[in-house]
């Protein structure tokens, strides 16, 4: 999957399952799949989506913005969605070029930097 395709997938979820005004993924499914049902070091876990919020409200070791969610894959492929800022952050790793992984802490830091530079209001 290209970075552009991964960004499109994240954008589909940012838009609650709509693409160009057409509901592709049911909005209820988007909400249910990005809701935390268990806890993790970075928040929670839904249906194949990690979340910036934990299910129990437990403190997080790795902090993402509240209400955010992301897909994560091998070596550090990420598609992070921050609905409160209308923001997506995508990271792709070409495994043919490197075996170095991007850790979740690094992505959380990248998202924090993007969030702190976002215009307020």
CATH number at residue 41: 3.40.710.10
H-assigned helices in the chain = 3-14, 27-33, 104-117
Q: Give me the number of domains the chain comprises.
A: 1
Per-residue confidence band for 74, with pLDDT thresholds at 50, 70 and 90: confident
Cα separation, 103 vs 62, in Å, equals 11
Task: Please tell me the pTM assigned to this model.
Answer: 0.90
Q: Which domain holds residue 25?
A: 3-117
Residues whose CB falls within 8 Å of the CB of residue 105, separated by 6 or more in sequence, listed in order:
62
pLDDT band, residue 101 (cuts 50/70/90): confident
């Amino acid at each position: 999957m290209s970075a552009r395709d991964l960004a499109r997938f994240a954008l589909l979820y940012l838009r609650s399952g709509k693409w160009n005004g057409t509901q592709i993924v049911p909005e209820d499914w988007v909400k249910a799949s990005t809701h935390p049902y268990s806890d993790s070091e970075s928040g929670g876990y839904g249906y194949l989506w990690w979340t910036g919020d934990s299910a129990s409200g437990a403190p997080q070791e790795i902090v993402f913005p509240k209400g955010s969610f992301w897909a994560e894959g091998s070596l550090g492929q990420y598609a992070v969605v921050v609905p409160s800022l209308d923001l997506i952050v995508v990271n792709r790793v070409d495994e043919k070029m490197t075996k170095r992984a991007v850790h979740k802490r690094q992505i959380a830091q990248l998202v924090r930097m993007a969030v702190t530079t976002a215009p307020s209001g």
